[in-house]
Chain A
Amino acid sequence: MLHIKCPHCGMRSQNEFSYGGDATVKRPELNKEVIDQEWDNFVYNRVSPRGKHLELWQHLSGCRQWIKVERDTATHEIFNTYKANEEIA
Chain B
Amino acid sequence: MQKYSIFSLVKNALTGHQNWDLAWKDPNPKEEYDVVIIGGGGHGLATAYYLAKEHQITKVAIIEKGWIGGGNVGRNTTIIRSNYMHDENGLFSEFGMDLWRKMSQDLNYNVMFSPRGIINLAHSDAQMNAYARRGNSMRLNGIDAVLLNREEVKELIPMADFSDNVRFPIFGGLMQPSAGTARHDAVAWGYARQADSMGVDIIQNCEVTGFDVSAGKIKGIRTSRGNIKAKKVGLCVAGSTNILAEKLNMTLPIETHLLQACVSEPVKPVLDKVVTFGAGHFYISQSDKGEMVMGGDLDGYNSYAQRGNLPTLQHVLSEGIAMMPFLSKLKMLRTWGGIMDMSMDGSPIIDKTHIDGLYLNCGWCYGGFKATPASGWTFAHTIAQDRVHELNAGYSLNRFSTGHLIDEKGLGTKTWIS
Chain A positions within 8 Å of B255 at CB level: 21-22, 46, 48
A70 proximal to B (CB < 8 A): no
State which of B243, B309, B413 has its C-beta within 8 Å of the C-beta of A50.
Answer: B243
Cα of A2 to Cα of B302 in the assembled complex, Å = 13
- Give the secondary structure class of A's interface: mixed
- Asked if B210 is at the interface of the complex by the 8 Å CB criterion, the answer is no
Q: Which residues of B contact A19 (CB under 8 A)?
A: 300-301
A76 in contact with B305 (CB, 8 Å) = yes
Q: Are B256 and A48 in contact (CB under 8 A)?
A: yes
Which residues in A have their C-beta under 8 angstroms from that of B301? Answer: 19, 55, 71
Determine whether B216 belongs to the interface, using a CB cutoff of 8 Å to chain A. no
Residue of A at shortest CB range from B306?
Answer: A74
B253's contact among A36, A46, A55, by CB below 8 Å, is which? Answer: A46
A15 within 8 A of B: yes
Within residues 16 to 57 of chain A, which ones have a CB less than 8 A from any CB in chain B? 18-19, 21-22, 36-37, 40-41, 43-50, 53, 55
Distance between Cα atoms of A40 and B253 in the complex (Å): 9
* Cβ contact within 8 Å between B310 and A44: no
Q: How far is the CA of A55 from the CA of B302 in the complex (A)?
A: 9
Inter-chain contact A15/B311, CB cutoff 8 Å: yes
Interface size on A, as a range, is 20 to 34
B254 at the interface (CB under 8 A from A): yes
From 164 to 218 in chain B, residues with beta carbon under 8 angstroms from any chain A beta carbon are none
Instruction: Contact check, A47 vs B251: say whether CB atoms are below 8 A apart.
Output: yes
Q: Is the CB of A74 within 8 A of B253?
A: no
Could you tell me if B246 and A2 are in contact, using CB atoms closer than 8 angstroms? no
Min distance, Cβ A19 to any Cβ of chain B, angstroms: 4
CB-based contact A73/B256 at 8 Å: yes
Chain B residues, Cβ within 8 Å of A41: 251
A46 to B344, CA, bound (A): 10
Whether A18 pairs with B304 at a CB distance below 8 angstroms is: no
Tier of interface size on chain B: 20 to 34
Which of A21, A40, A41, A46 has the most chain B CB within a 10 Å cutoff? Answer: A46
User: Using Cβ atoms and an 8 Å threshold, which residues of chain B touch A1?
Assistant: 309-311
Find out whether the CB atom of A73 lies under 8 angstroms from the CB atom of B302: yes
Q: Which of chain B's residues have a CB closer than 8 A to the CB of A14?
A: 309, 311
Whether A75 is near chain B, meaning CB under 8 Å from some CB there, is: yes
Q: Is the CB of A74 within 8 A of B304?
A: yes
Whether B242 lies near A36 (C-beta < 8 A) is no
Give the residues from 365 to 407 in chain B that come closer than 8 angstroms, CB to CB, to chain A.
400-401
Q: How close is A3's CB to chain B, nearest CB, in angstroms?
A: 11
Min CB distance, A53 to chain B, in Å?
A: 6
Q: Which residues of B from 246 to 269 have beta carbons under 8 Å from A?
A: 246, 251-256
The smallest beta-carbon distance between B159 and chain A, in angstroms, is 30
> Judging by beta carbons under 8 Å apart, are B256 and A40 in contact?
no
Interface pair A45/B253, CB less than 8 Å apart: yes
Rounded to whole angstroms, the CA-CA distance of A22 and B301 in the bound complex is: 10
Annotate B304-327 by CB proximity to A: 1 below 8 A, 0 otherwise: 110001110000000000000000
Q: Which residue of B lies closest to A75 (CB)?
A: B305
Given contacts A45-B253, A49-B242, contact A21 B413 (CB under 8 A): yes
- Given pairs A1-B311, A2-B309, A46-B252, 19 additional interface contacts (CB within 8 A): A1-B309, A14-B309, A14-B311, A15-B311, A18-B416, A19-B300, A22-B302, A37-B401, A40-B400, A41-B251, A44-B400, A45-B251, A46-B242, A46-B253, A47-B242, A48-B254, A50-B256, A74-B305, A76-B303
Show the binding face of B for A, using Cβ within 8 Å.
242-243, 246, 251-256, 300-305, 309-311, 344, 400-401, 413, 416
**9 A-B pairs with least C-beta separation:** A44-B253, A48-B242, A45-B251, A44-B400, A19-B301, A50-B304, A74-B304, A48-B255, A44-B344
18 contacts between A and B (CB under 8 A): A1-B309, A1-B310, A1-B311, A14-B309, A14-B311, A19-B300, A21-B255, A37-B401, A40-B253, A43-B400, A45-B253, A46-B251, A47-B242, A47-B251, A48-B302, A71-B301, A73-B302, A73-B304
